[in-house]
Amino acid sequence: MISGAAGFIGRPLCAELFRQGQAVVATVRSNNLPIDDVENLTISTIDCDTDWAKALVGVNVVIHLAARTHVLKDIESDPLAEFRKINVEGTLNLARQSAKAGVRRFIYISSIKVNGEKTVSGKPFTAEDRPAPIGPYALSKHEAEDGLCRIASKNDMEVVIIRPTLVYGPGVKANFLTMMNWLNRGIPLPLGAINNKRSLVSLDNLLNLIITCIEHPGAANQTFLVSDDEDLSTTDLLERMAVALGKSARLFKVPIHLLEAGAGWLGINTVYQRLCDSLQVDISKTRALLGWAPPMSVDIALRKTAEYFLCSLSDKRKLASKH
């Protein structure tokens, strides 16, 4: 059973599992978003009272993707309470019902933000680091992880925790989509001298790891970090993304201290941090315990992402021309 099955990760995960011959129950928030070829069930809300009984019939593995995701400008008066309703109480409610229903393994898609927001040079995050979550979203994911480990210690159900870095691929949105739009439009960017290092993970590589964790005995009750295992600077990422789009990256060099000062003056320090800070992960534990390596290279994954983006733009233009 896959929660959040209509999302960026959930929909292609359902498709790949179906292609491999797996029986899948897809839970979605709206019956207007059916997932092709698999059984669909609508779960309108996820909290401590959600009844998952129908979705768990005959299920031996749960992959929990559904979550309240990171919100840059949260309008809630108590954001942490809102994150906890879904990400902590909702997750643990599902886990308890899963254990009671006889589910063998519960795979939880967490976030690298449980480790922290940034790394220093030469010290990537590892799965064994002491968590250092910052902000309501990261705190809620950490609390959910802790709760799942407690449930696993009292039941026969195994728990697997996966903390992805930034995920990109066909259909990606947010900052990654913004950068593709910048490059495709040929906008000059003052990002030609950024020497940070960031770990990313392509959608294909993440899906491959999730599917590996369904059956692999070494995954039981473990926490894994995942990336493409090739760290890029923001400058390098933009240049390689431009190649994938068939464009030239119009980057000019501005000293980092001036970028930081400008971001502070404009009130966009968060944007500066995402573009200029480093965030690296060490996936050696994932490799060692699972015998896993990312099957897709960064450049191929960027090309797939760019092709989808360009096709979507073409479709939008065609639709606009008809009206």
Q: Give me the active site residues, please.
A: 137
* Residue in this structure with the two tokens 């069930």, named with its chain if needed: 41
The Cα 280–Cα 283 span in angstroms is 10
3-class SS at 252?
A: coil
Alpha helices per DSSP H over the chain: 10-19, 79-83, 91-100, 136-154, 174-184, 203-215, 234-245, 256-266, 269-276, 284-290, 298-322
- Token pair for 165: 């870095």
* Residue in this structure with the two tokens 């950068």, named with its chain if needed: 179
The Cα 174–Cα 169 span in angstroms is 12
Going edge to edge, which strands form the sheet with 222-226?
39-42, 25-28, 2-3, 61-64, 105-109, 158-164, 222-226
Give the number of residues written for the chain.
Answer: 323
Q: What type of residue sits at position 100? A: K
The Cα 90–Cα 112 span in angstroms is 20
